[in-house]
Structures are given as C-alpha cells and as structure tokens.
Amino acid sequence: MSANKIHQPDGTGDAIGQGARIGLFDSGLGGLSVLRQLSHRLGASAHSFVYVGDTARCPYGDRSAGEISHFASQIVHWISNQTVDSIVIACNTSASVSGDEVRKTANVPVIDLFSVTADLVASQFNRIGVIATSTTVKRKAFSKAIHERDSHKSVTEIACPDLVPLIERGLSESKEMDAALKKYADKLLKENTEAVILGCTHFPFVEAALARLLQDRVQLIDPAVLLANSIAKSIAAANPQSALALDIDTRPSAYTNGQARISRSHIYTTGDPARFRETAKICLGYPLDTVNGITVDELTMTSPVISLVEHAVNTTTVTPNMVPATT
C-alpha cells in the first residue's frame, strides 16, 4: 500500500467562512505543518493567519495536564484578541488535554484535528496506528474519537517522546532521527497496521523518512490535510462562487516542498525568533518571511498587535524581536 496521504474532507471546519482570519497555536513549530496546508488549500488571497509557537515552553508532551491547560488557555486568550474569526489547535497534546476547556472560554470557534481524522480512518481502515506525544497517547485522544465512530476498529497508539525535541533542534534529517523513527516503524509493522496517523503536528516534517522505513506498506495520514480539505469544502458549499477560486476538484490537496509557501501569516514565537526561523526553514524547505518574538508575559496582553506587525512587515524598520526576511 502506498505511503502517500489520503484526502477526504468531511464537515469539520464549518465555523470557518470565506475571508476569515484564522489563528493557530502549537508548543513550537510543529503547527506550521497545519498552517502550510491551510495556506495552500484555502488560498492566500482569501485568508490570513496568526500563528503562535510556544517554543520557550516546548515540548508539551511530558508536562502536567495543569501546565498544558494553563499554557493553552493563555495562548487562546491572546489569539482571540488578535482579530481572528476562529482558532485551530495545531497542537494535539493541547487539544487532548484542554480542548473542551478552551472552547468554553474562547470568544471565537475553536477547532481541533481529531474529528476529521477519525471520520476518515474509521470509514476506511480496520487496523490503525497512531504516533503521537506521550500525553496524547495517554489520553487516547485518537482512539476515543475513532471508537466513537466504530468500536470494532483496532487502534495502536505509540508514544514518541524523542521526536519533537529532535525536530525542534533542527535534526529532522539526521542519524539520530533515523534511529528514533526506526524503532517506531518496526512496532507499526509488527502490528500490521494499514494506516498510521501522524498524531503530532511536528511529525509531517519527518514523513518522508518514516515512509521509507515503513517500506510503502502503510498509509500515512496527515490530519492537517484532512482539515484543510474539509474547510475548503465547507466554504465552497456555502459560497458556490468561491469553488472556482479554491479549485476544489483540481488543486493538489497536499503540500509538497516548492509547491506552495506559507503566506499572509503573522508568526510569533516565545523563543528565539532567529532560531525558530532557522529551524522552520529546515522543516519547510524555504525561509519564513518574518518571525516575531513575543514573551510569555506578553501573552497576557489582550490589545491587538496585528496592525503593528503588518506595518513592520511592510517597512525596512525591524524591531528588536523581529527577524526580517533574508535570502
């Protein structure tokens, strides 16, 4: 069976309309894998994005539920006040721990990646693998979502605590990464899984290496692709005139390096912006235009800052916490 992704949207993402400004957040740069799919699939001319990578406190996977909930609530509160229309939890660890909680407090719709993924795998596969962070696996977030749809499905969830730190260190393509991935690939092959969900948003950045180790015997599923397609379908259904612009039936569903770039995005990190941009280039295959620094303390601010960032992006003036685009 091919290791290429499957794409079949469902109704997830109905809360996102045409022309919306979408907020996203992750423990680090993993959520960029979600942002690139949304940017590519929805069309840069119709959408803009606000992204927060909490690199200063990454990884989340082995933190306590209380810490994760606090971090997620803090970030969602801040993003909610940046003129966004909806928020995507581009961190499955956060979604598994605090998804319900932040939905109750956010002033905009909050979306995760579990439902759209479970809809697809429960309808097409019997033996399903999930690789994710320790917390997501412990919470059985994907298993529960899949079994809500079909209790007879076999789901094997494998915690992969060493992958996120390696990716955040820029070691997506390294001997250390190959060694780490091999032990997980061996487990998945031993379980005779038909499909494997990339259950952490960092993991699409090592998809090619994992596919090689799985010897094209297992279908890899990137939830971000499913979510982006679902939103595009929902927008096209509600606005038939937009279907042509979205190229629903003709545009390639998945991102590939060089095919599309993250655009119209305001990207923030609580860590070092220069380091974030350097590592993001390794993962994405191209440099981000601008990465903005924001301290953890600044996340408690509620006043919108997007207009200031837009001004900074379009001038040669760079504030101390911003990294300008370079070749």
**pLDDT at residue number 12:** 52
CA-CA distance, 204 to 70, in Å (whole number)? 26
Tell me, what's the pLDDT at 234? 82
Do 292 and 272 sit in the same domain of this protein? yes
> Same domain, yes or no, for 87 and 118?
no
Say yes or no: 247 and 107 in one domain: yes
Average pLDDT of span 165-187: 96
Cα–Cα distance, 233 to 244 (Å, whole number):
11
Pair 168, 34 in one domain:
no
First to last CA, the chain: 39
**Tokens 């001319």 found at:** 45
Active site residue 58: no
Question: Of 152 and 314, which is predicted with more confidence?
Answer: 152
Q: Which of 58, 160, 200, 283 is catalytic?
A: 200
Q: Is the pLDDT of residue 139 over 90?
A: yes
Residues 106 and 141 in one domain: no
Of residues 37, 160, 156, 172, the one with CA closest to residue 93: 160
- Please check the confidence at residue 171 and state whether its pLDDT lies above 70: yes
Among 205, 224, 243, the domain-final residue is: 224
Which tens digit of pLDDT belongs to each residue from 295-325? Answer: 999 988 766 665 434 433 333 333 334 444 4
Only one residue has tokens 């250390």, namely 176
Mean pLDDT of 253-270: 72
pLDDT at 246: 54
CATH number at residue 219: 3.40.50.1860
111 sits in the region (left: phi over 0; alpha: psi -120 to 50; else beta) called beta
Higher pLDDT, 316 or 287: 287
Buried b / exposed e along 151-170 (16+ C-beta atoms within 10 A): eebebbbbbbebbbbbbbeb
Contact 95, 141 (CB under 8 A): yes
In this prediction, residues 232-260 reach a mean pLDDT of 59
Predicted local distance difference test score (pLDDT) of residue 316: 32
Determine the pLDDT at residue 99. 95
Contacts of 131 (CB under 8 A, 6+ apart): 157, 158, 160, 163, 184, 188, 196, 197, 198, 199, 200, 203
Q: Could you tell me if 146 and 198 lie in one domain?
A: yes
Q: Residue 261 has what pLDDT?
A: 76
Phi, psi of 64 (to 5 degrees): -75, 160
Is position 12 within any domain? no
Mean pLDDT of the chain: 84
- Same domain flag for 219 and 121: yes
| Within a domain: 4 | no
Q: Give the chain's domain count.
A: 2
For residue 187, pLDDT beyond 70: yes
Distance CA 104, CA 1 (A): 41
Share of the chain above pLDDT 70, in %: 79
- What pLDDT sits at residue 170? 94
Distance from C-alpha of 308 to C-alpha of 207, rounded to nearest angstrom: 36
Mark whether 91 is an active-site residue.
yes
Q: What is the pLDDT of residues 45-91, one digit of tens each?
A: 567 899 999 999 999 988 999 999 999 999 999 999 898 999 999 99
Higher pLDDT, 264 or 121: 121
The reported pLDDT for the residue numbered 243 is 57
Listed residue (164, 165, 173, 163) closest to 285, CA to CA: 173
Structural domain of 196: 114-224
The SS3 call for residue 257 is: coil
Q: What distance in Å separates the CA atoms of residue 279 and residue 289, rounded to the nearest whole number?
A: 13
Q: Which of 233, 323, 232 is nearest to 278 (CA)?
A: 323
Quick check: 22 pLDDT over 50? Answer: yes
Q: Beta-carbon neighbour count of residue 293 at 10 Å? A: 20
Q: Look at residue 3 and tell me whether its pLDDT is greater than 80.
A: no
Residues of the chain above pLDDT 90, percent: 66
